[in-house]
Structure 1
Amino acid sequence: MRNFVEFARRSDEQHVTSKLAVEWASHQCGPATWSSRLSTVRSFARHLKVDDPRTEIPPSGIFPPQRRPRPFIYSDEEILDLLATMLELHPASFRRLTYHYFFGLLAATGLRFSEAARLLRDDADLETGMLTIRETKFGKSRLVPLHPSTTAALSRYSTDRDVCPIRRNCKFFFTGDRGRGLNHANPHYSFILWTRKAGLRDPTGTEGPRIHDLRHTFAVRTLLAWYRSGDDIERRLPELSTYLGHTYVRHTYRYLAAHPDLLEQAKLRLDARWEATE
């Protein structure tokens, strides 16, 4: 909404109009997001119209509905190659270690990119192996327990990071050479370079696996492990939902259709129930 307000201020319109909303929704973004961007303005316009009757509420159906991209589920080998490549891309920079452990944490915990990038050093309790993720999406905070191997890896990183006084004084857990927190662009660019090197993206293409797919991979692997161990998925799904920071369990259900192996496991469970009732 802040972006829309700035766009509106630069226009000649004195009130929110459908034309203005459509122009903003399709400005500087790909078609995949136009529908959701316009929907955001539509909700805002309904609220604004109470005080300003000249406000126009953009009609629905102008853009096709947004579709979630099909998630890419990484193999163990691809994740290991990603981490190894981060060490190779920046041989003379501390970013080699930062990106190596940063992407490793995403793969090991399913954290959102922003959650890991904004993680404060005071919120990483490596004595107990617990992360405190504060005020993230939908204003939720949560505790994220770590596997001992992940805790040990982050401890190695923090030791190397704090050798430099500039980095030691940074409030963020992950830092660059100058002791600043991570921005959005640089890790993404390094990630794209890896996908091209690994053959997961065309050399000049824009379509390909995303960093967010590490989160999908974590969720799918967790569900598969529960299926294969015979756990009650319905009972355990709220645990995964809480761990991932979802507001509702239904947001976690979509991972059940994210991988053919999950669908196969669900089919086997259903077949077994039918056989038991025959």
Structure 2
Amino acid sequence: MNTLRESLKQYVDLRRAFGTKYQEPAQTLGYFVDFMERKGARLITTKLAMQWAMQPQGVQHATWARRLTMVRRFACWLSASEPLTQVPPPRLIAGRRRRKPPYIFSDDEIARLMSAAAELSSPSGLRAATYTTLIGLYAATGLRPGEAWALDRSDVDLRSGILTTRQSKFGKSRLVPVTESTRLALERYQQRRVECAPQTRSEAFFLSERGRRLNATSVRRTFVKVSRTVGLRIDVGNGRVGHGPRLQDIRHSFATRTLIDWYRGGLDVTLELPKLATYLGHVDVGHTYWYVEGVPELLGLAAERLGSHVSRGRV
């Protein structure tokens, strides 16, 4: 009979065989197995699953519900080979995730974040160069956080100024053209990276101080650090990141600024929106429309444009 940890590995391998990366759920279920091992429990029960799912305090009930759903799906699969496994019933924890309104960074705030990143200390100076360029790239392109640190050197065409994101969210890949100023910034970073880490074997474009690919935890914690430096976050102590603008809010800011510029420029946003959706890698233009609803200024501009069309008899 397999242990829970062995069974989890088989389950994750199966999910990935169907084409999904299954990274965050695999990590979360690993924490669940850690919990079960500390309890000395060999079989999944509804009681233990609920106890684990509701451990985090100060979070939305939707977070508890999502954790329980992960365990439920794992238990459903496991019950085929281990009949004594209890499968938690659906909707034991009610909770609908409330989408947090994005924080829209101003140009000045982005500049301050980049200046703070440039002051990050490290023996070679690579850390400062990496995070300054990374924040600038997010602001200039609206890339998802993980898309930037997943870039390989071969994905960054500095001659044509085109980035290639591979197998990103929903398994999609796309080409992302950048402006000349962004291309030059990436070129400068490449030169700095070669000077600081000439012996690295990593294929990653963005490198850590040790010459390795960046990871989600270190990038987000460093972003929190520079955000506190410029006063955009409060240090809550105890090693906690606290609340405040998030890394992905730079992506929201890029999309929002683009839409605002289109509205103010008199463009037909309905016709232009699919272009932005494609550039951002959205699978559905409806995901891009959310920015109009989520930002009051945009909603006001959209209403103003609609009122103008109505007065002209165009709707």
CA contact (8 A) 1:89 1:190 kept: no
* Structural mapping, 1:84-163, within 5 Å: 84-90=115-121, 92=123, 93-163=125-195
In the alignment, does 2:290 pair up with 1:258?
Answer: no
The CA deviation string for residues 159-193 of structure 1, in whole angstroms up to 9 with x for no partner, is 11112453554310011233111122333222222
* Structural mapping, 1:1-278, within 5 Å: 1-2=25-26, 3-4=28-29, 7-8=32-33, 10=37, 11-27=39-55, 31-32=59-60, 33-46=63-76, 54=84, 55-60=86-91, 62-90=93-121, 92=123, 93-164=125-196, 166=198, 169-204=201-236, 206-277=242-313
Say if 1:148 and 1:168 are closer, same or farther in 2 by CA, change over 3 A: farther
Q: How far 1:150 sits from its partner (Å)?
A: 0.6
SS of equivalent residue, structure 2 residue 198: helix
Q: How far 1:37 sits from its partner (Å)?
A: 2.4
Say if 1:149 and 1:65 are closer, same or farther in 2 by CA, change over 3 A: same
CA contact (8 A) 1:21 1:58 kept: no
- Rounded Cα–Cα distance in structure 1 between residues aligned with 2:108 and 2:196: 33
* Segment drifting more, 162-171 vs 141-150: 162-171
Say if 1:243 and 1:37 are closer, same or farther in 2 by CA, change over 3 A: farther
CA contact (8 A) 1:25 1:38 kept: yes
SS of equivalent residue, structure 2 residue 99: coil
Q: How far 1:113 sits from its partner (Å)?
A: 1.3
- Rounded Cα–Cα distance in structure 2 between residues aligned with 1:183 and 1:58: 35
Q: Which amino acid aligns with 2:202?
A: C
* Segment drifting more, 134-143 vs 47-56: 47-56
SS of equivalent residue, structure 1 residue 179: coil
Q: CA RMSD in A?
A: 2.5
SS of equivalent residue, structure 1 residue 163: helix
SS of equivalent residue, structure 1 residue 216: helix
Q: Which amino acid aligns with 1:40?
A: M
* Segment drifting more, 163-172 vs 46-55: 46-55
Q: TM-score scaled by structure 2?
A: 0.79
SS of equivalent residue, structure 1 residue 162: helix
- Rounded Cα–Cα distance in structure 2 between residues aligned with 1:61 and 1:272: 48
CA contact (8 A) 1:17 1:58 kept: no
Q: How far 1:5 sits from its partner (Å)?
A: 5.1
- Rounded Cα–Cα distance in structure 2 between residues aligned with 1:50 and 1:248: 36
Please, which runs of 5 or more residues in structure 2 have no aligned partner?
Answer: 1-24
- Rounded Cα–Cα distance in structure 1 between residues aligned with 2:189 and 2:195: 10
Percent of residue pairs identical: 43
The CA deviation string for residues 220-268 of structure 1, in whole angstroms up to 9 with x for no partner, is 1111112122222222222222211222222222111222220111111
Q: Which amino acid aligns with 2:273?
A: L
SS of equivalent residue, structure 1 residue 177: coil
- Rounded Cα–Cα distance in structure 1 between residues aligned with 2:199 and 2:99: 38
CA contact (8 A) 1:38 1:58 kept: no
Give the paired residue count.
278
Say if 1:176 and 1:4 are closer, same or farther in 2 by CA, change over 3 A: closer
Say if 1:217 and 1:18 are closer, same or farther in 2 by CA, change over 3 A: same
Say if 1:253 and 1:4 are closer, same or farther in 2 by CA, change over 3 A: same
Q: How far 1:128 sits from its partner (Å)?
A: 0.7
Say if 1:82 and 1:50 are closer, same or farther in 2 by CA, change over 3 A: same
Say if 1:251 and 1:51 are closer, same or farther in 2 by CA, change over 3 A: farther
- Rounded Cα–Cα distance in structure 1 between residues aligned with 2:57 and 2:148: 25
Say if 1:161 and 1:29 are closer, same or farther in 2 by CA, change over 3 A: farther
Please, which runs of 5 or more residues in structure 1 have no aligned partner?
Answer: none
